[in-house]
Amino acid sequence: MRDTLKQLYDIEPIALIKCSDKVFQIKCENESYCLKYINHYDDGKVLEKLKALHIDYFTMPIQTQQRTITPTYQNKIIRLTPWIQEEYLEAKDIKLKYYLTRIAEVHQKSVFSSNVSVSFYNETAAHIEELQSESLHLLDKMMEDIERLDYKSPSQWYYTLNYTKFIKSLDKSKQHLNKFKELTKDKSTIRQVITHQNFDYNHVFISKDKIISNEKMTICSPVFEITSLFEHSYFGSIDLSGCLKEYFNKFSFEDYEIEWLLALLYIPRIKFYPGNDFKNLTNIMQGVFMVKSVDELFEEYKK
């Protein structure tokens, strides 16, 4: 790897520290870098836009001497960025608010409208209907399986107590989808922004004013940013709807976008793991919390 780094970036490491299966810290004499294995090539369009808009909240990938940003090493795609020293800050609510404020600024600065085909929104609605159908099938099958049991585990009891809540959430998803269909039946444009779609508390460095792990950044609807935030993060006692005020105060959704978002968020996404009752219980609790958070988001938006 040392020879490859010299050839690609003209840097001479004095130490290579393995942080995980995908991440290495590359220590050089005067500075350090983060080398990460990723799963796709980057054409540089997002980086180009970030530079043009003077947005510097993210750790930017370093170009090779051949001016690429995702070269290969041993048939794997790699990405090199500056190393950001870990900071110890347990105030997750502060990190979340900081993240949402910065993401809102990025969306505000990068937003533009583009044309879409006549079938785009019909296909989007059809995809959401497919997700709804899959969710209903999973919810009903799990309920049927539990009802056959003489003895129910803690996670199974907890699921039966919240089954109706999940079905009602799915009904709300369908209601918002119908509104989305109505609002987009004659629509031929879509708003797009630069999205991050990789929130994690460990990716936020407030003292450095930086957000790391930006390999998933892409240009698409802001709906997918907030959907990703809900789907891939567990917020526990944090008031997510309250934190989202920081976002919506800076970047407002159009009516069709909020209906699109709610149609997606109200779909229960609960996974079940045979033989792992603790994990099942955690996932069901996350599902219950998500329904509550989406309800709060909807009420906040109505205000």
How would DSSP label each residue in 77-116? EEEEEE---------HHHHHHHHHHHHHHHHHHH-EEEE-
Q: Are residues 107 and 77 in the same domain?
A: no
Looking at the structure, do residues 74 and 164 belong to the same domain, yes or no?
no
Query: What is the CATH classification number for the domain harbouring 230?
Result: 3.90.1200
One domain, residues 205 and 181: yes
Domain assignment present for residue 87? The answer is no
Are both 257 and 239 inside the same structural domain?
yes
Q: How confident is the model at residue 241 (pLDDT cuts 50, 70, 90)?
A: confident
Q: What is the mean pLDDT of residues 155-170?
A: 96
48 lies in the same domain as 167:
no
CB 77 within 8 A of CB 35: no
What pLDDT, on the 0 to 100 scale, is given for residue 49?
93
Q: What is the pLDDT of residue 87?
A: 67
| Higher per-residue confidence, 301 vs 275 | 275
Q: Does 269 lie in the same domain as 144?
A: yes
| Confidence check: pLDDT of 268 > 70 | yes
Q: Is residue 143 part of a domain?
A: yes
pLDDT (0 to 100) of residue 128: 98
Q: Which domain holds residue 23?
A: 2-82
| Position 57 in a domain | yes
Same domain, 134 and 54: no
DSSP-derived 3-state class of residue 176? helix
pLDDT of residue 261: 96
pTM of the model: 0.90
C-alpha–C-alpha distance, residues 71 and 80, integer Å? 9
Q: Does 118 score more than 90 pLDDT?
A: no
Q: Are 213 and 294 in the same domain?
A: yes
Residues 19 and 36: their CA atoms lie apart, in Å, by: 10
Mean pLDDT of the chain: 91
The domain total for the chain is 2
Distance (Å, whole) CA 242 – CA 244:
5
The rounded percent of the chain whose pLDDT value lies above 70 is: 97
